Each structure stands twice: as structure tokens, then as C-alpha cells.
Structure 1
Amino acid sequence: MSSREQYAPGAAFGADIRKEGETWTLVLVRDLRHPPAKVWKAITEPEHLRQWAPFDADRNLGTVGTAKLSTVGAPKPLVSETQVKRADEPKVLELSWGGQNMRWELEPLEGSGTRLTLWHNINRGFISMGAAGWHICFDVLDGLLAGQPIGRIVGAEAMKFDGWQRLNAEYAKQFGIETPAFPSRPT
């Protein structure tokens, strides 16, 4: 993919849901063609996060402690104090974002790739929308790592993007849930 205009997300894949008590967790797995050290930088360094993630960070997330994450694309500014609970470079990053726990695992693949797994505690009603949003974020991340950035596509902008509604419906079907209602796209 070489430009935003040419980008179209592929079919829904690499996602699962887990339920433990009343806690729902979205689990996303993506194999990237880039080494763990490069992927680690992309998920921890503010200048990289600004190019693909649904949040901005006020500091490098590669160390334990407090950070501020600003949700991008929210109707009003939403800044949450976050705790980076574990930062084991370049293997595991655990943090809370808006009261939801997230765990990133980076596993080296044969050659020079990385299997990136994200566990994201999420409200059950938003699971398929979250999967669709992270799918697009991971596509943008992959392009960025390959030196072919297409620019961040998150929040309301992602929901208007061609392919998001299809992904939302595909993930809902895979998870065996109703496709959640979302604001219709302006015409």
C-alpha cells in the first residue's frame, strides 16, 4: 500500500474474544514482517504512536510509571492518566487506558518478523467496533514499519472510512454477536 487513497482493509482475521466473569477481552494477533525491536519502538515511542495509534502519549511508554494518553478522534478531548505496569523490552508492554487493561506481546518469528498480540479489556458492546478499529490501526502500523506510511486512521474518521463498517459486521459475525448500532455515515 502506498497511499491513503489506495488503502482498503482486508477481511476480518486474527481476532478472538474471551470472557472471564464480567470482563470481556478482545485478543488480536497480527504477524508483522519487522523485528521485535522495531515493533517495540512503534508501540512505545510517542513520535511513532502519533502515526498509527488511537492515542497520543506524553512520554515513551517503554518504562513503568505514569503517563498521559490522549484519545485521538474523540468528540471532545479525552486525556487519561495511565499506568504502565510492565515494560519488558522488546517482549511485553502492559498498561491501563481509560480504565481498560491492555497487554502487548511481541514474539519473534522465524526470519525477522514479529507476532504482535494485543489483549484489550473492552466493554462487550464495543468488541466488534474495537476489533475493526484495531485492524485498521495494525494495517497503518504495518505500512509505517515498511516505510510506506498512509497516516493515522482512528476514531470517528475510521468509522467513516470505507471498509470499517464491513469489518465491524464481519467481526460481529465471527464473535457471534449482533452488529452494534453506530452512527450512520454522513452522505
Structure 2
Amino acid sequence: MSTRDTYKPGPAAGAQIRKEGENWTLVVVRDLRHAPEKVWKALTDPASLREWAPFDADKNLGAVGPVTLSTVGAPTPNVSETQVTRAEAPKVLEYRWGSNDMRWTLEPHEGGTRLTLWHNIDRGFIAMGAAGWHICLDVLDRLVDENPIGRIVGGEAMKFEWPRLHEEYKKQFGL
């Protein structure tokens, strides 16, 4: 059983970048031990998002329509009025977060779920994004495993080896 005090992220892994023209996309793949339905709830339910995600949502993301996402842990609060553009439970979720497109896919895989995140992000921030999502997805994994350790975002991530992960992803991505 892990706790927040003993949490330490593993080495940078499972992320890659794709470039199309001037657009950069971070692609993160994570295998989880739970069914897509359980992972879907963690990705869409506002109470679940408050346990792991870098933003709060004012309503469930599991339906197409308007939603407000508020960044957590940022030096300046960033609130985006946005749209869920695709919600096919428990397979595909798409929405905008600020100026970034987010797409999550969930596929049954070896008795659990292969979770893939596509996040279009500025090249200058892509290794930072990879390090941040690495920690968030570790926390998500513990949440769906019913062993929550609480959200780790923003400046607090510095205490959980975010700088090491950032450097490792920069090297992996050749940045």
C-alpha cells in the first residue's frame, strides 16, 4: 500500500511527441489494472478529477456540451469556458483545455485498460507537460486502485521529483 509520503515517480516512460507542421502533440500511454468503465469515471466525474487532475470541472465531462475547467496549483488561476466535443463512454473523451486539444482513449488491455492521452501543447512546454501528466497519471492509477494519495499538481509537484522527470523527458524528446 503506497501513501503520499512514500510516493516516488518512476523513470520517464510511456510518452512520445508527434509533430505535424507547427503543431506538437504529447502522446502518453499508460496501462492500468482496471476496467475502462472505472477509468472513465475517474476521467469524467468532477469529484474524481479533484483527486488527481490538474484542473477542476464544474460538471461531468462524460457528455458533449459546455464545461468550465479551472486550473489548480497554477500561479495565476486559469479558468476556461470550453466544450466537451466527444464523449463515447467508456472509449473516447475529447475537449479543449485552454488553447489545447485533449483526447483520451481507453481500450481493454490484458484485463485492464490502455489509457492514451493526446495533448496538443506548445513545444516549449511539452517536456513539462509530460512530467506533469506522469505524476497526475500515477495519482489517477492509485485512485482507481482505491488507494488515493491526493492530487499532486503545480508547485507541490516539485516535492515529488518533477524536476528530475522534466529533465528525463527533455532528453528523451531531444529538446
Tell me which interval the TM-score lies in, with the shorter structure as reference length.
over 0.9
- Offset from partner CA, 1:125-181 (integer Å, 9 cap, x none): 0111100000000000011111111110011211x223111100110100000xxxx
Find the aligned partners of 2:32 and 2:160 in 1 and give their Cα distance: 23
Find the aligned partners of 2:110 and 2:19 in 1 and give their Cα distance: 31
Alignment of 1:92-107 (within 5 A): 92-107=92-107
Tell me whether 1:26 sits opposite 2:20 in the alignment. no
Partner of residue 125, structure 1:
124
- Offset from partner CA, 1:83-105 (integer Å, 9 cap, x none): 10100000000000001000000
TM-score (norm 1): 0.92
Point out the more displaced range, 147-156 or 88-97. 147-156
Partner of residue 87, structure 1:
87
Partner of residue 166, structure 1:
164
- The one-letter code matched in structure 1 to 2:134 is H
Q: Which runs of 4+ in 1 moved over 4 A?
A: none
TM-score (norm 2): 0.98
Which structure dedicates a bigger proportion of its chain to helix?
2
Q: Taking every aligned residue pair, what percent have the same amino acid on both sides?
A: 71
Alignment of 1:13-162 (within 5 A): 13-111=13-111, 113-158=112-157, 160-162=158-160
- Offset from partner CA, 1:49-103 (integer Å, 9 cap, x none): 0000000000000000110000000112211011101000000000000010000
* 5+ long unaligned stretches in structure 2: none
Counterpart secondary structure, 1:151: coil
Find the aligned partners of 1:74 and 1:162 in 2 and give their Cα distance: 16
- The one-letter code matched in structure 1 to 2:174 is G
Find the aligned partners of 1:162 and 1:77 in 2 and give their Cα distance: 22
